[in-house]
Chains A and B, each alone.
Chain A
Amino acid sequence: MSNEIKKLPEIITPSNKEVIIIGEVDNGEVKPVTIELLGAGRDLANKLSGILSCTLCGFNLGDLPKKLISYGADIVYVADDPLLKNYQTLTYRRVLIDFLSGFTLPPHIVLLGSTTTGRDLAPRLAAYFETGLTADCTELDIGPYEHTNKMDPEKVGLYPGCLYAIRPSFGESLKARILGPWKNPQMATVRPGIMLPLQIDNNRKGEIKKLSVNLHPEDYRSELIEVVHKINKSVNLAEADVIVSGGFGLGRAEGFELIKELADCFENSATGASRKVVDTGWIPYQYQIGQTGKTVRPKVYIACGISGAIQHRVGMSKSGLIIAINKDPDAPVFKFAHHGIVGDLYQIIPELIKQFKSNKLQLIKKEEEKLIA
């Protein structure tokens, strides 16, 4: 009797155990974050013993829905319509609200990428359905939650199968686990470049279903007039193997030329920047890496003249190999870089470029091979 545990009542909020990814298309291709979300979503759906589905809105989508099946979706819901050629808040909102309202039992989880599109759209959907939304997650999981807060007596209980939406908070010093099991769908946006996609499998079976597109006159209150892809391939930060970033240590806007020159030495590379460089106006916002910029995960990240503030670090700390060049040996960047050179970037970078172009490297390599042999 004495060690009797008071069991909380188990509360299961109605859902159809479906995990839905809101997919994105860009320039005729599925965005990488959608494929990543399918990887993460597959895991969640398995843990729930549920199904994984994905929506895709756009025009002339061709084989893209099939591709989503190969990457893990059980069902792909497609709205292929000239009116949806480009993302606009109100038109996409309408199609998705109609779709999500059509379930007898609401889906359990809805996930979007925390791209400029996802972060524009997700809060509209969450507010419409008056459900919880966690921004910019870096980890997701499923698990139980015991709510004991007496301030909130109606909600006290044990909730199985909650979405754990995990995100950094206060810079990156804390990781917060955010839950909202009281209402489905439980929603989150997820940072691009973090979740691991599944291996593509063209034998995977799935269903493709059509979504109806019924736009209202008020959905046309905003229209896209022009898209400017002014940035060449070198801002494709999400897919680059090597990123060379410049910070305030460059001292002047022209310093960025040197950063570009170094990046140009690598195969599939891009350039990035710290916020201070962007704020100073040396380079456009699209290059910014960090908390308020892009999250990247290249194989090699070279930070030049960047102090390594926490807000910068959160955007690149998952990179495979982090190299820092900074003249201050106490710069915080050396706390998380794997290799660092202490010195003036205006000496180090030209030397790096020179070595890449010389054949000395090959000589060293050959010598090493000889030694091994």
Chain B
Amino acid sequence: MRTVDPGDDFDSWRPLARQMLADGIRPEELLWQKEPGLFLGEPESPFRTSPPTPHRVPASFLRLAQVVACHSDPQRWALLYRLLWRLTAGDEPSLLSQPSDPDRVRARALEKNVRREIHKMHAFVRFRKLTDAGNTQEHYVAWFEPEHFIVKAAAPFFCKRFANMDWAILTPKGCAHWNGEHLTFSPGVSQDPFAGKDPLEEAWRTYYGSIFNPARLKTRAMQSEMPRRYWKNLPEAGLIDSLVRDSRHRLDRMVASTGSPVRSPSSLPYLDQLRAATSAPENPPATLAEIARHLAHCRRCPLAETATCAVAGEGPLSARIMIVGEQPGDREDLTGRPFIGPAGQLLDRALTTAGIPRSEIYLTHAVKHFKWTPRGKTRLHQTPNTAEIEACRPWLLAELSALTPQIVILLGATAAHSLIGPGVRVMRDRGLVSLPSLAPHVILTVHPASLLRQPSDRLSADAFNDFVADLRLALTS
């Protein structure tokens, strides 16, 4: 059995472990123990028996070992050497990817302890501001008592966060100092050398006491995240006992207090405007502006419940052409404007090709709310059913009679269903349709979204040309 002093940290242990490995010393023949004086005078001689042979270990082991080395458990060095031995001489290179191996489980547990303690140090360090009379520079000092040797690992976080402050963190397990440029470390100190209080701690305690809700006492949840051993260095923790004690009384008082009667809502023009009508009239109004205003509150079908808004038609009152699509899509629903999503962009391209300016057209939908179903992270468009089409038809008819366009272009089956009737077959009947009750000229064509679903580029180009040809009928009508 050999006894080796691992030193203070990973950097001192690493060359020793490498040498032990080269010497072929099995983990069970080795005792890692801090024993000052054992090797005095011959610090490294007993081991230089064989030249170090290069061993390859996974990078994940080095990362793990660096963290585990910070733990205060004296057994950590033996554990790390055992893992190192098994990974190399023991021929178990995939050891670290076996989540239930006892050595790995133990190492991961120590790693977790250390990482948690680093996290808690980031959370629970409390700086106090010191100001020297002659010195205008602000200086911040904290006292913290970590369970493990984590000051070096935890300090860089504070350098980044408080890069432009002078600060020091003092602990029994080492101290860190930052002057705005350099991070330095010094040995630990046994007690907090600055007993002085920071006046701001009073404000912090006031905040802590006020943000606590006495109606939801859950002290165990608090303690599992903020164990008692941290309390003595937290200025706010002194309040905990009295807050807990008084909470029952405060809750009882709230429950027992008689509610204040409901007063009639105060009448301010601003509030009246906010509370303005949230229901739509039975019969749609006569002008486009009124239609758009009331459409926003339509509840004629359940689609309103899951859509963002009703998308009203858009275009000049003088428009000769009215285009009726199916329903708003994802983009239209979010912005409240018709034909701005992918299908709308395709329609724009087709209109440009056909030589019809969009600015002279009134664009609207047969169904005003977006119907969708969840699919992964997106909202998948769903075709509206007969009831939904019929519920929305009065709005569309109102738009039609307010505008009295010369030409109506129906895009796809839903628009056709709404204004011609069920059972229209778009591909068979596309082109000019005689429907004098709607407008002097009515054109039936496909919905631009169908062009986006063509299986090949060639078919898609053909379909686009056919679509443009249908739109051009408007120029000759």
Q: Do A and B bind each other?
A: no
Q: Hey, which bits of chain A sit against chain B, CB under 8 A? A: none
